[in-house]
């Protein structure tokens, strides 16, 4: 049920922005390329590869939700002392993250193909070790670009935060699965990575726009 002080259209925009951000973040080669390469090395079936993608994506979001909950607790404690400051703190955080990604994208330029250097297991490695290794790789790295969403909505209640976590999970898993499937189907890795080459700039702009929406909503 939508909280009475949160307009339904704003909630839908928030959830849509969260889904899009999570999906775009999943375009990073680190979110799909390891699954393709390890899956080939292990001669995994499509079902097993997608199971690894799903488990790793959910672990990634679980870690993000854990860190986000700590941010919410800290933010609410601060807001007891400084009334009304919390939304502006979240907007500032969104601006900082957005500017960081824009500057980093400008410095690095469009990223070339090749993805991360991976120490891939040999086919003799057990399937369980390869599977849980991929899951752990994603679970220990929370999605930092998703964290400002938790702070911006800290006062809206558990239902909104739970809905955010759900759309993060759906967007992340769908994005990871899509790019993994495309690569497995034989698409050129170079062609796929053209989508991810400008991911930093797109995320930066999206976060800044969301920050502006947060500030505008306060007036």
The pLDDT tens digits for 18-36 are 899 899 888 877 788 788 8
Q: Which domain holds residue 208?
A: 8-217
2 domain-assigned: no
156 domain-assigned: yes
Cα dihedral across residues 19, 199, 212, 66: positive or negative: positive
The pLDDT tens digits for 144-162 are 778 778 877 767 778 888 8
The pLDDT tens digits for 74-85 are 766 655 554 455
- How confident is the model at residue 113, as a pLDDT? 43
**pLDDT band, residue 174 (cuts 50/70/90):** very high
Q: Report how far apart, in Å, the C-alpha atoms of 112 and of each of 115, 178, 189, 191, 196 are.
A: 8, 21, 11, 11, 10
Q: Does residue 218 carry a pLDDT above 60?
A: no
Percentage of the residues of the chain whose pLDDT score is greater than 70: 65
200 domain-assigned: yes
DSSP string, 58-110: HHHHHHHHHHHHHHHHHHHHHHTTSTT-HHHHHHHHHHHHHHHHHHHHHHH-S
d(CA 209, CA 112): 27
196 domain-assigned: yes
Into how many domains does the chain fold?
A: 1
Average pLDDT, the chain: 75
110 domain-assigned: yes
3 domain-assigned: no
57 domain-assigned: yes
Full-model pTM = 0.65
1 domain-assigned: no
């Amino acid at each position: 049920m939508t909280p009475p002080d949160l307009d339904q259209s704003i909630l839908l925009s928030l959830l849509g922005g969260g889904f899009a951000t999570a999906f775009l973040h999943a375009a990073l080669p680190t979110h799909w390329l390891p699954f393709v390469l390890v899956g080939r090395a292990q001669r995994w079936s499509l079902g097993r590869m997608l199971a690894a993608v799903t488990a790793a994506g959910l672990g990634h979001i679980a870690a993000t939700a854990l860190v986000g909950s700590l941010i919410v607790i800290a933010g609410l404690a601060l807001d007891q002392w400084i009334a009304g400051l919390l939304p502006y703190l979240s907007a500032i955080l969104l601006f900082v993250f957005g500017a960081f990604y824009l500057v980093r994208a400008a410095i690095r330029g469009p990223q070339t193909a090749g993805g991360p250097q991976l120490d891939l297991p040999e086919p003799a490695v057990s399937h369980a070790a390869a599977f849980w290794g991929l899951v752990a790789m994603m679970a220990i790295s929370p999605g930092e670009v998703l964290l400002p969403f938790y702070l911006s909505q800290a006062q809206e209640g558990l239902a909104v935060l739970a809905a955010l976590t759900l759309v993060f999970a759906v967007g992340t898993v769908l994005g990871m699965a899509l790019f993994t499937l495309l690569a497995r189907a034989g698409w050129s890795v170079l062609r796929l990575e053209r989508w991810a080459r400008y991911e930093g700039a797109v995320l930066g702009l999206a976060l800044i726009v969301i920050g502006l929406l947060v500030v505008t909503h306060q007036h």
